[in-house]
Structure 1
Amino acid sequence: MTDKNPSRSQKALSWMPLAVMAVIAVMDVSAGPGVGLLPLVSLGPAFAGLVGGWRRTALIGVLALLLCVALGLYNGLFAERRGYTAMASVAGVTGVGIAAAVMRSRREAELASVRSIAEVAQRVLLRPVPLTAGPLQLAVSYTSAVAEARIGGDLYEVVASPHGVRVIVGDVQGKGLAAVETAAVVLGAFREAAYDEPDLVGLGERVERSVARELQGERFVTAILAEIRGDQEVVLLNYGHPAPLLVRRDGSAEFPEPPAYALPLGLSAHGADGPRPYRVTFTPGEQLLLYTDGVTEARDQDGRFYPLAERTRLLKDPDVHRALEALREDLVQHAGGPPGDDAAMLLLRYHAHGTGDTGQDTGPAR
């Protein structure tokens, strides 16, 4: 269970060192000098070093020393070594706390730098999709399996080419930088070939050759390619990827399956035949959702998979971006947090070209 109010928990942690010292002071006065609670005042700067900066840790350390002196004088401990021992304990813990705070601040600065670099890499690798392309309105969502992460192995791209609007959504086998490198290879090949190849099969073959050449059988990528030319059909080419979700005008849902599933990209060395293209009716007022398996394989606390086909009502919002965001929020709620795998979704909404009349109220194209 994640904290729904992180600022409140951070505020509580920031007050913890002072609260601990106050409790120890009350207990020491109540119990008397014979119990020996005075060295526990060092817990204040110890906690401060874990949750605060070095300046705040030093300040709390000074307050702890003053409290130690006051309690020592009150209990008459400076007539013997106990008072000086307690002060030495507080000073030593304060020094260690300051060192810990400095090291933590440096690590946080390095992590922030890495996240910033990852964010830039994501903008280069996964560019924002256009708001509209041909007869389509588009929206994209990317949910990382790690809450702090900004980039992963799922990929998507939309290219408005002379041969129609061409789309790819894929999922790289593996995680980390190797997956990001593979995604860059796929997207680079797709972006170049999408403009040149008049045929979707030829486009897929060029991407396959690039991936096989670069990866040499070490990794593979499941992917689905789509082409929309404005003739109220979508041509699909499936490389071992989950079938897309097609939402009809009446709200019914279907998952157009390929005639036969082909091997993922990067496995052409096994000699299997490539995928065969198949056509599906796609008319104004209908929506096509391409996604990765992180969506349908997201489990709730009881182990149930995300019921994507039962959530088509969430895509009724006239604004395509709000519709997809509602679906993403429902997915995160189902999983109780970030899903177990990266989850990318690309929503294509077909509107009547030039009029915006979809047969349902979809709002103006943005």
Structure 2
Amino acid sequence: MVAIPVGLIVVIAIVDLLAPSHIHLGPLLVVAPAITPSFAGPRTTGLIGALAVAAQIFIAALRGGFDLNHQVQIAALTVLSLLITAYARKQRRRRRELARVRSVSEATQRVVLRPLPHRLGPLRVASLYLAAEDEAQIGGDLYAATRVKECTRLIIGDVRGKGLTSISDASVLMGAFREAAHLTPSLLELTDLLERSVCRHLAEHIATASVEHGDAEQPQPGADEELREHFITALLLDIPDEGPVMYMANCGHPPPLLLRNGDQVITLHPANPGPPLGMCELPRSSGDPGTPETMPFEDGDTLLLYTDGVVEARAPDGSFYPLAQRVAQWCGSGPEGLLHHIRRDLLAHVGGRLGDDAAMVVIQRSPALHPVQQLKRKMPANSAHGG
């Protein structure tokens, strides 16, 4: 790539020397150092700039002397080369900072948003996270899954807002879910526990903000409004290994899509949706909205969970992404294939750039095994070999 600016300098110098004396092409030499930062660092840019200045001096010497015009051209080229070199140095520093930010983001993602296993009991699982920020790979969307006895328990959620605050809120909810999922027998109890964890975190957040403003006793004006503006939509699922059903608790989250029989798409609207997590002034009890509901989930069915960043993604003309209509043509794909099709189609719909983070999880229930196959799966390896 360095040969390009060097070649430009040589060509411009030769053409300038061959041109009539009243034609001066020397100012075009600035193009060489100007294009160098796009592929090289400040040192190479400085060398190309020095070479351009040397070529300008060489042209002036062969043209018969350093008149005022040549002096101005040499001075201008020198100043511009120095400025371009300074820009290249700043650009390199920016690239290094961006690399560090991405490294921290990837480490945070591995801790907070762990990749879902491809297999959970009889379920095939695939997940996808698309961050709206160029410098981050994680934001306020979240998902997690774990095995509880003969059942798979999942959560997908969306934190209101962006940036570090949303990551903090997401990490609190994920930590609470991973701890409580094994301790609570029902989705209702799990939802209550997650609600208390989120509310406690938000209260501590407001208290910390008050201390930072110098008043630990009195909350800052607007603190209640800020507390009410922080919430997390969430969808919790319990999927038993046996039986054609699943149990769902919807806390203000977009309803999942059930893909069945190769071309049928069913939106699983909750009969009694609950409020988002973090609406701390709203009580939750067994009679409140958000009580787990029984939904169909048979062998061969595929379930698509998603956040609002998917269905609220806008095309340049302002139209939303029609997820339910688009997935109908890909019902026969496996979990990974389905996410591949959606990702490609979604990015094409928005013109390559999302306005909000988007997360998706695809769950497919494998057909039930024959009793003999189930017995073989449960047998130890040494027994299977006659040992």
> Which band: TM-score by shorter chain?
0.7 to 0.9
Q: In the TM superposition, what is the alpha-carbon distance from 1:323 to its structure 2 partner?
A: 2.5
Q: Following the alignment from structure 1 to structure 2, what is the Cα–Cα distance between the partners of residues 84 and 324? A: 63
1:243 aligns to 2:255 (yes or no):
yes
Q: Following the alignment from structure 2 to structure 1, what is the Cα–Cα distance between the partners of residues 264 and 313? A: 22
Residue in structure 2 matched with residue 350 of structure 1 by the alignment = 365
Q: In the TM superposition, what is the alpha-carbon distance from 1:42 to its structure 2 partner?
A: 3.3
Residue in structure 1 matched with residue 275 of structure 2 by the alignment = 263
* 1:104-115 pair list within 5 angstroms: 104-115=91-102
Moved more, 24-33 or 151-160: 24-33
Q: Following the alignment from structure 2 to structure 1, what is the Cα–Cα distance between the partners of residues 4 and 278? A: 54
Whether contact under 8 Å (1:33, 1:77) holds in the other structure is: no
Q: State the TM-score, normalized to the length of structure 2.
A: 0.81
Give the residue type in structure 2 aligned to 1:223. Answer: A
Residue in structure 1 matched with residue 64 of structure 2 by the alignment = 76
Moved more, 54-63 or 181-190: 54-63
Moved more, 272-281 or 31-40: 31-40
Residue in structure 1 matched with residue 165 of structure 2 by the alignment = 178
Q: Following the alignment from structure 1 to structure 2, what is the Cα–Cα distance between the partners of residues 281 and 42? A: 69
* 1:202-351 pair list within 5 angstroms: 202-216=189-203, 217=227, 219-230=230-241, 231-271=243-283, 273-310=288-325, 311-317=327-333, 319-351=334-366
Identify which of 136, 146, 158 aligns with 1:159. 146
Cα 1:72–1:301 shift into 2, 3 Å: same
Cα 1:100–1:131 shift into 2, 3 Å: same
Q: Following the alignment from structure 2 to structure 1, what is the Cα–Cα distance between the partners of residues 370 and 164? A: 44
Q: How many residues align?
A: 342
Moved more, 209-218 or 181-190: 209-218
Give the residue type in structure 1 aligned to 2:59. Answer: L
Q: Secondary structure at the match of 2:273?
A: coil
Q: In the TM superposition, what is the alpha-carbon distance from 1:256 to its structure 2 partner?
A: 1.1
Whether contact under 8 Å (1:287, 1:350) holds in the other structure is: yes
Residue in structure 1 matched with residue 43 of structure 2 by the alignment = 55
Whether contact under 8 Å (1:237, 1:278) holds in the other structure is: yes
Q: In the TM superposition, what is the alpha-carbon distance from 1:104 to its structure 2 partner?
A: 1.6
Whether contact under 8 Å (1:32, 1:75) holds in the other structure is: no
Cα 1:101–1:215 shift into 2, 3 Å: same
Q: Secondary structure at the match of 1:268?
A: coil
Q: In the TM superposition, what is the alpha-carbon distance from 1:21 to its structure 2 partner?
A: 4.6
Identify which of 10, 16, 26 aligns with 1:38. 26
Q: Following the alignment from structure 1 to structure 2, what is the Cα–Cα distance between the partners of residues 137 and 222? A: 24
Q: In the TM superposition, what is the alpha-carbon distance from 1:250 to its structure 2 partner?
A: 4.5
Q: Following the alignment from structure 2 to structure 1, what is the Cα–Cα distance between the partners of residues 110 and 331? A: 26
Give the residue type in structure 2 aligned to 1:312. Answer: A
Q: Secondary structure at the match of 1:316?
A: coil
Whether contact under 8 Å (1:251, 1:312) holds in the other structure is: yes
Q: Secondary structure at the match of 1:116?
A: helix
Q: After superposition, give the CA deviation of every residue in 1:230-251 in whole Å (9 maximum; x if it has no partner).
A: 2221111001110000112352
Whether contact under 8 Å (2:126, 2:361) holds in the other structure is: yes
Q: Secondary structure at the match of 1:117?
A: helix
Q: Following the alignment from structure 2 to structure 1, what is the Cα–Cα distance between the partners of residues 308 and 240? A: 27
Moved more, 86-95 or 254-263: 86-95
Query: Unaligned regions of 5+ residues in structure 1, if any?
Result: 1-10, 357-366
Identify which of 132, 151, 171 aligns with 2:119. 132
Whether contact under 8 Å (1:222, 1:241) holds in the other structure is: yes
Q: In the TM superposition, what is the alpha-carbon distance from 1:73 to its structure 2 partner?
A: 2.6
Whether contact under 8 Å (2:101, 2:136) holds in the other structure is: no
Cα 1:284–1:49 shift into 2, 3 Å: closer
Q: After superposition, give the CA deviation of every residue in 1:322-345 in whole Å (9 maximum; x if it has no partner).
A: 232122211112222132211100
Query: Unaligned regions of 5+ residues in structure 2, if any?
Result: 204-226, 372-387
Q: State the TM-score, normalized to the length of structure 1.
A: 0.85
